[in-house]
């Protein structure tokens, strides 16, 4: 399996404040990675660096075997942000139109879609079990349903890597489990490599196959089962004292 992303000895500062220190890890094709850490631990910053949205100051990052500075993301990496599902009730777009925005250069809500693109949009909606809501106004859908529409928008271009920043914020607890199942399906059936950013280490470890704990530097990277088997004391040694409370299995 090839490495989609390689992060090598990355250190990052905002002004004089060091937020990442000597961070190294690889993301391997096919993995379902949980990126966890407390508030302010640098999760969003490392994502921005991997997406090329923030300039690498020290160290290096390669994406799909190219230095990040030379990598042109032609739909290989897709991103669903934390703030994606904050549409107001009167936002004037249907679910289908929101998904079409993911087609960017090929077709969009502002241009009539051809039959081929329409097929891709319906296929993506079907993948997230939202086909029957295609013509509903996005603002009329629940937080969880909107999040599914944003996943459809993110996968409509057939990405190889999908990064989700706290995707369960705004999803009610009973739908969170279904949401994780959907992500597992995308990983297994479509072969999409996933990076899921979360604070909720208790829930995430039961779904991902690769766990990356970040708190300025990488404190653990490996099999989530090995992490679960550790005592609280071992965990606090590797992760710091901010993470003594771990809730298991919801």
Q: Which residues pair with 160 in a beta bridge?
A: none
Smallest gap from Cβ 245 to ligand ATP, in A, equals 16
Smallest gap from Cβ 91 to ligand ATP, in A, equals 24
Cα separations in angstroms, 114 against 74, 85, 97, 111, 182: 20, 27, 13, 9, 28
Among the listed residues 25, 36, 44, 124, the single contact to ligand ATP using CB under 6 A: 44
Nearest CA-CA partner of 201 in 150, 160, 166: 166
Smallest gap from Cβ 17 to ligand ATP, in A, equals 6
Query: Phi/psi zone of residue 129: left (φ > 0), alpha (ψ -120 to 50 degrees), beta?
Result: left
If one counts every other C-beta atom within 10 angstroms of the C-beta of residue 249, the result is 7
From the centroid of its chain, how far is CA 117?
A: 24
DSSP codes joined into one string, 51-85: TTSS---EEEEEETTEEGGG---SSSEEEE-TTTT
Among the listed residues 32, 43, 130, 151, the single contact to ligand ATP using CB under 6 A: 43
Nearer CB in complex with ligand ATP: 57/142:
57
By the rule CB under 6 A, 219 interacts with ligand ATP:
no
Which residues within the stretch 172-211 sit at the binding site for ligand ATP (CB under 6 A)?
199
Nearer CB in complex with ligand ATP: 17/116:
17
Smallest gap from Cβ 167 to ligand ATP, in A, equals 13
By the rule CB under 6 A, 14 interacts with ligand ATP:
yes
Which residues within the stretch 59-98 sit at the binding site for ligand ATP (CB under 6 A)?
none
Among the listed residues 8, 19, 117, 176, the single contact to ligand ATP using CB under 6 A: 19
- Give the footprint of ligand ATP on this chain (CB under 6 A): 14, 19, 37, 39-45, 199
């Amino acid at each position: 399996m090839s490495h989609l992303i390689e992060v090598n000895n990355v250190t990052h500062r905002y002004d004089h404040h060091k937020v990442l220190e000597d961070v190294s890890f690889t993301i391997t094709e096919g993995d379902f990675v949980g990126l966890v850490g407390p508030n302010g631990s640098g999760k969003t910053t490392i994502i921005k660096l991997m997406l090329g949205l923030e300039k690498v100051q020290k160290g290096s990052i390669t994406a799909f075997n190219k230095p990040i500075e030379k990598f042109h993301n032609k739909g290989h990496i897709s991103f669903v942000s934390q703030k994606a599902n904050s549409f107001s009730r009167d936002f004037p777009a249907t679910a289908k139109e929101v998904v079409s925005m993911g087609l960017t250069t090929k077709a969009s809500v502002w241009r009539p879609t051809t039959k081929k693109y329409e097929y891709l949009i319906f296929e993506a909606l079907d993948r997230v079990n939202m086909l029957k809501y295609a013509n509903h106004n996005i603002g009329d859908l629940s937080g969880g349903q909107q999040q599914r529409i944003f996943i459809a928008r993110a996968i409509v271009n057939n990405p190889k890597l999908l990064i989700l920043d706290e995707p369960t914020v705004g999803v009610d607890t009973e739908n969170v489990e279904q949401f994780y199942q959907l992500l597992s399906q995308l990983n297994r059936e479509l072969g999409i490599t996933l990076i899921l950013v979360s604070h909720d280490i208790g829930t995430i470890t039961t779904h991902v196959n690769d766990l990356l704990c970040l708190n300025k530097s990488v404190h653990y990277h490996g099999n989530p089962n090995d992490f679960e088997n550790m005592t609280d004391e071992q965990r606090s040694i590797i992760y710091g004292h901010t993470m003594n409370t771990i809730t298991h299995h919801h």
